[in-house]
Amino acid sequence: MSATYDEDLYTWSLEQAILLRTRKFDQIDLEHIIEEIEDMSKSEKRALQSFLETLLMHLLKWQFQPAYQGRSWKFTIIEQRKRIESHLQENPGLRSKLPELVEKAYGYAVTGAVRETGLAVKVFPQECPWLYKQFTNPDFWPES
């Protein structure tokens, strides 16, 4: 092997793939491969949480600052719903993590909404006011 895990992850990854394809199992870097696979699953989970956070923050802004509703917020909401749906189709095992991820994402969404709107944190509900099926529904637009 010419690249090490710590020096060049990209080249290391390609080399490990070649070793696996050619079934040279005695030459693979098993510990780091395991670590990378675990990190990939964490990355997919973080991506879904990020999509949820962005969606929830924009829905909060939509509801609590109706005077500022515009195309940008609308299309961000539409896009995040599509990203969530697509991500769950590609990673159906994440569905079981939705309650946990929605709770975490909502906390960050409130922080973001406070930052972007200038409204006090107490204006926003402490817990997510919508069910997952509700806020991901393309026809759902919260009212003030």
The pTM for the full model equals 0.85
> Mean pLDDT across the stretch 70-94?
97
Query: What digits encode the pLDDT tens for the residues 52-76?
Result: 999 999 999 999 999 999 999 999 9
* Domain tally, the chain: 1
Residue 142, domain member (yes or no): no
Domain with 112 in it: 9-135
**Axis crossing angle, helix 9-21 with helix 30-64, rounded to the nearest 10:** 120
Residue 100, domain member (yes or no): yes
pLDDT of 1 > 70? The answer is no
Residue 19, domain member (yes or no): yes
Predicted local distance difference test score (pLDDT) of residue 4: 85
Alpha carbon of 98 to those of 2, 6, 105, 110, 130: distances in Å? 41, 33, 10, 18, 13
Which alpha helices (H) appear in 22-131, and where do they start and end?
A: 30-64, 71-90, 98-117
Q: How far apart are CA 87 and CA 11, in angstroms?
A: 27
